[in-house]
Amino acid sequence: MSTQLSAPPSSRRWVALGLIALAQFMVIMDTSIIGVALPKMQESLGFSQENLSWVFNAYVVVFGGLLLLGGKLSDILGARRVFQAGWVILGIGSLAAGLASNAAVELIGRGVQGAGAALIAPSALTLLMMIFGSNPKELTKAFAVYGAAAPAGGTAGVFLGGLITEYASWPWVFYINIPLALIALVAAPALLPDGAMAPHGSVDILGALTATLGLGAAVFAVVRAEWAAVSTWVILAVAAALLAAFVAIQARRREPLMPLAIFRAPDLGAANLAQVLLGAAWVPMWFFLNLYLQQVLGYSAFPSGAALLPMTALIMVGMVALSPKLFARFGARTMTVTGLVVLAAGLGWLSFVRADGNFWVDVLPGSLVAALGMSLAFIPTLQTAISAAAPEEGGLASGIVNTGYQIGSALGLAVVTAIASAAGAEELGDKTELAQGFSASFVAAAVIALAAAGIALATFRKPARTEVTAGI
């Protein structure tokens, strides 16, 4: 990763942070913006009910599977070059997904979008470290803004997806990416440091393939959730074999995609595991809360998205104004455990949703408590995961933490969906059964959050203050 010498002047660094935050906003928004549009897409493109979820999963699997490669390329080729290439690929995938006339082309377009996002996300974090890494106080503020862009993108995706689907047509949930990609491509050379290419380095293609295919197979088997079928266990065995092969390849190669020694850095493994479980608890909550609003409370697409805005506003305020100060005082261990426990409390509150409920009692209080927990836990785990690595491995560390969160989100959603379905969430039209299923989903997510808190308590160093935040 380039040194701080190539960072832009202080007068432009906060504008550059806006562009980096836009990248985080976009890659997360693309996981959520299609949710409300899925019924229209199913009608237009001929998806079966069983395969419709792959409009979401095609993006997440490719995104998560290629993030390590994106991080490695950022370190070898220069973060800004990879950042720009990612926007080009994302724009092409968005155009293909919007123009798709059948299910196969749609899934290909979503996969291309995921590949572009896999280049954008780790290079954006690398650029953030290049620009702000020499100033601990500014770095924490920059992480707070970057972190707040993720939940903002998730909720904005639901909101915009509802608005576009209701007042335009579903292809525009993809076309909206194209002008934003053009803005990013034009602004990047003026705002972002160049990032010198590494004098040597090679790309571990075999490692990238085994990681991507292994993660994809694991997610496919869990999403499929046919546990009585032999084929499901065969797929899981193949996934385990591929991931074991990936680890073996990394241990033997001179220039691996993911040097295993990186996990010797204090708290890096603990922070990444916390991010995996944080995604596994948070994304199912967001997913099923949106379904409860629409399928039980009867909200249409646009009001459903608007109902999540208070939660998003609290997350953004918490990440920017509250979490950095508390992180500086108490350290990663205390903040992560506290945030996960508060998140579990919010999920527990949401588990009391009723068939005859309302927004003010059943949704708003619990969602705000959960949002506070998310804002307390996300920044400490993210910053610890990135800062624990050596500077020259910044892109790799970014790729690892992004991979963890995305794969955790996909697997968590798959597991919680299976639990919710067994409890009644598939009984469309029966609000009592739906409410019971959604309640079970929130209980399952709360259990994940509590388990994550226990694991963080056991795995983070004590004391876990990070030098990055000293002096704030």
In the prediction, which pLDDT does 424 show? 77
Distance in angstroms (rounded) separating the CA atoms of residues 121 and 146: 11
Per-residue pLDDT tens over the stretch 73-115 = 887 888 899 999 999 999 999 999 999 999 999 999 999 999 9
Residue type, 458: A
User: Cβ contacts of residue 157 below 8 Å, gap of 6+?
Assistant: 28, 29, 30, 31, 32, 33, 34, 35
Give residues with Cβ within 8 angstroms of 213, minimum separation 6: 65, 242
How far, in Å, CA of 394 to CA of 126, rounded? 6
Q: Are 469 and 332 in contact (CB under 8 A)?
A: no
Residue type, 146: Y
Q: What contacts 95, CB < 8 A, 6 or more positions away?
A: 109, 174, 175, 178
Q: Are 117 and 30 in contact (CB under 8 A)?
A: yes
Q: Which residues of the chain have pLDDT under 70?
A: 1-11, 49-51, 151, 155, 195-202, 223-225, 301, 391-395, 425-429, 462-472
Cα 468 to Cα 35: distance, rounded to the nearest angstrom: 38
Token pair listed for 396: 């790799």
How far is the C-alpha of 35 from the C-alpha of 301, rounded, in Å? 10
**CB–CB of 410/61 below 8 Å?**
yes
- Tens-place pLDDT, residues 435-454: 898 999 999 999 999 999 99
Residue 386, pLDDT score: 77
Buried b (16+ CB within 10 A) or exposed e, 380-397: bbbbbbbbbbebebbbbb
Distance CA 132, CA 4 (A): 8
Q: How many C-beta atoms surround the C-beta of residue 370 within 10 A?
A: 31
Q: What is the DSSP letter of 9?
A: P
Sole residue written with tokens 């790309």: 203
Distance of CA 64 to the CA centre of its chain: 9
Task: State how far the alpha carbon of 320 is from the alpha carbons of 167, 263, 443, 468, in Å.
Answer: 33, 28, 29, 16
pLDDT of residue 167: 79
Helices (H), 388-430: 394-420
Res 469: pLDDT: 36
Could you tell me the CA-to-CA distances from 230 to 225, 247, 350 in Å, in that order?
12, 26, 36
Picking from 147, 118, 142, the residue whose alpha carbon sits closest to that of residue 129 is: 142
* Residue for token pair 């499901």: 232
314 CB-near residues (< 8 Å, 6+ apart): 368, 371, 372, 375
User: Residue for token digits 């990763």?
Assistant: 1
> How far is residue 249's CA from residue 183's CA, in Å, rounded to a whole number?
39
pTM assigned to the model: 0.78
Find where tokens 């990238």 sit. 208
Q: How far apart are CA 182 and CA 185, in angstroms?
A: 5
